[in-house]
Amino acid sequence: MNFEYHNPTHLIFGAGTLSQLGEVARRYGKKALLVTGGGSVKRSGVFDRAVASLKDAGVSVAECSGAEPNPRITTVRRGAKIARDEGCDVIIALGGGSTMDASKVIAAAVLYDGDPWDMIFHGQEKVYIPTTALPIITVPTLAATGSEMNCGAVISNEETTEKSFMQTECLYPQVALLDPELTVSVPKNQTAYGVCDLITHVTEGYFNGIDNTPIQDRFAEGVILTAMEYGPKAIADGSDLNARAQVQWAATVALNGWVQAGGGGVGFPVHMIEHTVSAYHDITHAAGLSIINPSWMRFAAKANTAKFVQFAERIFCLSAKRPDDLECALTGIDHFEEFLKSIDCPTRFSELGIDGTLIETYAKETLRIIHDENGKLPGRPAMTRADIIEVLRSAL
Amino acid sequence: MNFEYHNPTHLIFGAGTLSQLGEVARRYGKKALLVTGGGSVKRSGVFDRAVASLKDAGVSVAECSGAEPNPRITTVRRGAKIARDEGCDVIIALGGGSTMDASKVIAAAVLYDGDPWDMIFHGQEKVYIPTTALPIITVPTLAATGSEMNCGAVISNEETTEKSFMQTECLYPQVALLDPELTVSVPKNQTAYGVCDLITHVTEGYFNGIDNTPIQDRFAEGVILTAMEYGPKAIADGSDLNARAQVQWAATVALNGWVQAGGGGVGFPVHMIEHTVSAYHDITHAAGLSIINPSWMRFAAKANTAKFVQFAERIFCLSAKRPDDLECALTGIDHFEEFLKSIDCPTRFSELGIDGTLIETYAKETLRIIHDENGKLPGRPAMTRADIIEVLRSAL
């Protein structure tokens, strides 16, 4: 259990904290690039409130709207150009995970002369890893990706049909301003996807980590149990501010390193496979995760049964006969899949109208983007092309 | 649940990481003040290894040894003088919680012209709160206080028989270097005290926080369960490096804010009472906590029964008849006290030879140092003088 942990992001959490945005941004400069997504923040009035807070604090605003659900490198290029042209000092993301991811890469791209796609890990010979970025402030309007308090970002390239990530210290937001009131207008299906997304972040570390991580396991289980308790409440009644707050806090801690520190995660196979599939189909990330995760779990449980038994026992109160009780492990996974169904997340590709035609391509592409020294997809266990195909086929 | 969280400390964790000390310290300067305690680090050879690593990296060393188990303000003054005289750039704590606390206050005192006791909150009219300090590196040799990754410190004043704390942003160590190998030589009783100390840090937040903090509760319970599982293993076999690592990680996360963020803790009454008692008797901090905590729990369970029922159910697998089942809550506390006894921690003052003579004084002094607008000790519930006396008397 040798590891390092450092997360410099200053978190401000609470209902009504959006009004602090201007005062916070002023610490980082006089002009902000406000990055937004498809327009829901304008319809809800959140955009106007953010701009008012900034103007009150003497911070002027340039705008980059239209970050896509799977944010594109073209948007990053466009945002970086606006920030440069307008002389922005700070990048503010006002939106969901896609908007935040785009903003983080824009912040680094502003200070990089080359093309920002160089920074995204996509199998190229030499990845450009930036060491500086403009200050970033994240204001999530959706509880899901945890991007608000970590240093990762996922970007798509529509020209090359690629979707992959970057992750480096300078992408940590200076401030994550989390106002759960901003999430009350999120529709039921997006709320459910957020719950699925955050749980998948936790299960990836939990099942792909090293052994002997008792605290990390308890933390992970705590996030999952909380998301499973409050997620359905937030879906049932979007105006339940307490449920919204619990889900938002769960989403943040699911991927800010608290659960992962010391866990020694050797990969995030479900995410890597999903990225390839959604590069081809532009599906919602969490819908892809919801389909692939249970199928991957059934595959991985054969190799790592004890951990899946622990999951079954601690999350679903099942009782195993032995630590290697595969039947108990699989029953736990069934229960997990039932939970996903209960919040109307898809669990088969057919529900999204995706058939098996491209399965071989997804597997090949996934391994092209990332593979270990044996040519396998990192994870526990590491996966061959045949393994990936098996997991995808079981999810058709 | 409105709160802020920011912990900039860079954590390096793992067996053998002591060898990185020089390389880490070099980032902060050329001369380090190495602060140590009673000499165990010299006897164990850890001091020589630390100095060798520093010298190899070109960092020269000044020394301030002899930080007391309850570190004194005289030691802080002495350390600050050495650091100034020797032109130190960075303060390195090599020892237990006392050494780390002294080091943190020394780091601030070096840059403050007044007397460092001004910075310790002891009921004075105006507390001096520093905003800068020399860089601090903590290298704990004991898993206990969590001081390695937070911004608090507790200091005693032997002239005035006071013991109290300071807590401010600039005291966050730049780096916490945690090498569980350094803790394998800690004797059984100190190991047990460390386990008690870390658990008490968690219970203070858990029982004195606001309602509706499901994630924080799960995290807290996770730390307690881990400490109760691996603590006895580390006590039974000090060379069990895995148990040592788990206990050390538990001690760090018990007080680095991960468990507390959003919990809205309204005080730490057990600590405040213990500080007064140990200001008069120079007992080991954790021994005082071990005695006062169960007694305080029985007092607090009457007002906050549901939380103590949750504790009983989740930590000791008890089954409550109702959420306000006081009997179940009290049985949980009995089990907790039994655990403390099982690791040979005292649970009555008589075991330390302390009688009730000064009980009124402890209560009065506790309230002099800290009280709310109604003159009560902050906590859940807030405590009157009579309440404090009741808790202390039950622990005789």
The CATH number covering residue A246 comes to: 1.20.1090.10
Contacts of A215 in chain B (CB under 8 A): 222-223, 226, 246, 249-250, 253
Nearest CA in chain A to B177: A4
HSE value, Cβ hemisphere, 13 Å, CA-based, for B141: 26
Tell me whether residue B259 is in a domain.
yes
pLDDT value of residue B69 = 87
Contacts of A229 in chain B (CB under 8 A): 214
Q: In the listed set A183, A218, A234, which residue is the last one of a domain according to the structure?
A: A183
Q: Does A142 lie in the same domain as A161?
A: yes
Mean pLDDT of B44-52: 97
Mean pLDDT of B54-76: 96
Q: Does A174 lie in the same domain as A72?
A: yes
User: Which residues are within 8 A (CB) of B381 and not within 5 positions of it... i.e. 6 or more apart?
Assistant: B300, B303, B304, B387
Q: Does B264 lie in the same domain as B278?
A: yes
Q: Does A136 lie in the same domain as A150?
A: yes
Tell me whether residue A213 is in a domain.
yes
Taking the Cβ of residue A61 and every Cβ of chain B, the question of whether any pair is shorter than 8 Å is answered with no
Rounded to the nearest angstrom, the gap between the alpha carbon of residue A345 and the centroid of all alpha carbons in its chain is 16
Q: In the listed set A154, A183, A212, which residue is the last one of a domain according to the structure?
A: A183
Q: Is B32 helix (H, G, I), strand (E, B) or coil?
A: strand
Q: How far is A230 from chain B (nearest CA, A)?
A: 9
Q: How far is A80 from chain B (nearest CA, A)?
A: 28
Tell me whether residue B4 is in a domain.
no
Taking the Cβ of residue B42 and every Cβ of chain A, the question of whether any pair is shorter than 8 Å is answered with no
pLDDT value of residue A70 = 87
Q: How far is B257 from chain A (nearest CA, A)?
A: 11
Which of A7, A284, A239 is closest to B261 using CA atoms? A7
Tokens 């229960």 sit on residue: A335
Tell me whether residue B323 is in a domain.
yes
pLDDT value of residue B282 = 78
Contact assignment for B229 to A214 by CB distance below 8 Å:
yes
Q: Does B341 lie in the same domain as B323?
A: yes
> Cα–Cα distances in Å, from B291 out to A167, A392, B251, B270, B350?
47, 57, 19, 10, 10
Selecting from A6, A13, A217 the residue whose C-beta is nearest the C-beta of B3 gives A13
B364 vs B4: CA distance, rounded Å: 33
pLDDT value of residue B393 = 98
Q: Does A170 lie in the same domain as A291?
A: no
pLDDT tens-place string over residues B21-32: 999 999 999 999
Q: Does B196 lie in the same domain as B141?
A: no
Mean pLDDT rounded to a whole number for chain B:
96
Write out the H or E segment, with its range, that includes residue A92.
strand A90-95
pLDDT value of residue A1 = 79
* Contact between B137 and B50 (Cβ < 8 Å): no
How many percent of chain A have pLDDT more than 90? Answer: 93
* Contact between A50 and A94 (Cβ < 8 Å): yes
Contact assignment for B223 to A230 by CB distance below 8 Å:
no
Phi, psi torsion values for B173, nearest 5 degrees: -60, 145
Give all strands (DSSP E) within B300-394, no chain letters: none
B284 vs A210: CA distance, rounded Å: 36
Contacts of A150 in chain B (CB under 8 A): none
Contacts of A16 in chain B (CB under 8 A): 2
Tell me whether residue B112 is in a domain.
yes
Contact assignment for A215 to B223 by CB distance below 8 Å:
yes
Which of B148, B149, B143 is closest to B234 using CA atoms? B143
Q: Does B171 lie in the same domain as B275?
A: no
pLDDT value of residue A266 = 80
Q: Does B73 lie in the same domain as B111?
A: yes
Residue B42 has pLDDT above 90, yes or no: yes
Please give the residue range of the domain that contains residue B237.
188-394
Tell me whether residue B106 is in a domain.
yes
Tell me whether residue B17 is in a domain.
yes
Contact assignment for A215 to B246 by CB distance below 8 Å:
yes
pLDDT value of residue A232 = 98
Q: Which residues pair with A178 in a beta bridge?
A: A13
Q: In the listed set B158, B182, B206, which residue is the last one of a domain according to the structure?
A: B182
pLDDT value of residue B58 = 98
* Contact between B288 and B282 (Cβ < 8 Å): no
pLDDT tens-place string over residues B69-106: 889 999 999 999 999 999 999 999 999 999 999 999 99
B63 vs B207: CA distance, rounded Å: 41
Q: Does A14 lie in the same domain as A100?
A: yes
Residue B123 has pLDDT above 90, yes or no: no
B155 vs B136: CA distance, rounded Å: 17
A2 vs B87: CA distance, rounded Å: 34
> Cα–Cα distances in Å, from A157 out to A98, A103, A104, B245, B371?
14, 16, 16, 43, 60
**Number of CB pairs < 8 Å for A and B?**
106
Contacts of A242 in chain B (CB under 8 A): 212
- pLDDT tens track of chain A, all 396 residues? 799 999 999 999 999 999 999 999 999 999 999 999 999 999 999 999 999 999 999 999 999 999 998 899 999 999 999 999 999 999 999 999 999 999 999 999 999 999 999 999 988 999 999 999 999 999 999 999 999 999 999 999 999 988 889 999 999 999 999 999 999 999 999 999 999 999 999 999 999 999 999 999 999 999 999 999 999 999 999 999 999 999 999 999 999 999 999 998 788 999 999 999 988 997 888 999 999 999 999 999 999 999 999 999 999 999 998 889 999 999 999 999 999 999 999 999 999 999 999 999 999 999 998 999 999 999 999 999 999 999 999 999
Contacts of A218 in chain B (CB under 8 A): 218-219, 221-223, 225-226
Confidence at B1, pLDDT banded by 50, 70, 90: confident
Domain count, chain A: 2
Q: Which of residues 254-273 of B touch A (CB under 8 A)?
A: 258, 261-262
Taking the Cβ of residue B221 and every Cβ of chain A, the question of whether any pair is shorter than 8 Å is answered with yes
Phi, psi torsion values for B289, nearest 5 degrees: -60, -40
pLDDT value of residue A360 = 97
Q: What is the dihedral of CA B266, B269, B272, B275, to 10 degrees?
A: -150
CATH number for the domain that contains residue B88: 3.40.50.1970
pLDDT value of residue B307 = 97
* Contact between B71 and B38 (Cβ < 8 Å): no
Mean pLDDT rounded to a whole number for chain A:
96
How many percent of chain B have pLDDT more than 90? Answer: 93
Q: Does B139 lie in the same domain as B231?
A: no
> Cα–Cα distances in Å, from B93 out to B65, B106, B139, B229?
10, 10, 6, 29
Q: Is A154 helix (H, G, I), strand (E, B) or coil?
A: strand
Tell me whether residue B15 is in a domain.
yes
Q: Does B196 lie in the same domain as B163?
A: no
pLDDT value of residue A28 = 98
A386, burial (CB in 10 Å: exposed 0-12, middle 13-18, buried 19+): exposed
pLDDT tens-place string over residues B302-339: 999 999 999 999 999 999 988 899 999 999 999 999 99
